[in-house]
Amino acid sequence: MPRGRKGTGKKRKMRVGYMISAVATKYGLHPQTLRLYEREGLLTQSRSDGNTRFYTEADLERLEVILSLTRDLGVNLAGVEVVINMRERIEELQAEVRQFVEFVNAELERMRDHAMQERFRTALVRVGPRVGQGETEKAKAS
């Protein structure tokens, strides 16, 4: 059972992350560089209850993209912002396309089901007494 804070009765969320010094060391950066990326809006850190910065795995993935663009490709921070915004927009559009394809597939399936029901409905033929059948029975009876 999760532990709560003493006396509050509230559940405490456990957030996993890395402190700024660990991230800076891992990527060979100065902590001020990470703060610059934050000020520029390229990187967003989370804060602990004690207001300490920490970075999640998703933050580190984004940092790796930033570093790849700046170090490997020589893109400046303005260019990094444009590339990141474009990537995010592409991901949004891909999600919209996936939803649209799911909708179209569901509609096609619904139409297929409706068409099959219509085929079954029209394929059944009502069978009644044959024309002239009643007359032959009368003739046999007489």
Instruction: For the chain, give every domain's residue range.
Output: 18-103
Fold (topology level) of 18-103: Multidrug-efflux Transporter Regulator; Chain: A; Domain 2 (1.10.1660)
- Span 110-129, pLDDT tens digits: 888 877 777 777 766 666 67
Question: pLDDT band at 131, cuts 50/70/90?
Answer: low
CA distances from 19 to 33, 54, 119 (A): 14, 5, 66
Q: What is the pLDDT of residue 37?
A: 96
When mean pLDDT is compared across 14-28, 82-96, 109-123, the lowest value belongs to 109-123
Q: What would the mean pLDDT of 43-50 be, rounded to a whole number?
A: 82
Q: What is the pLDDT of residue 43?
A: 93
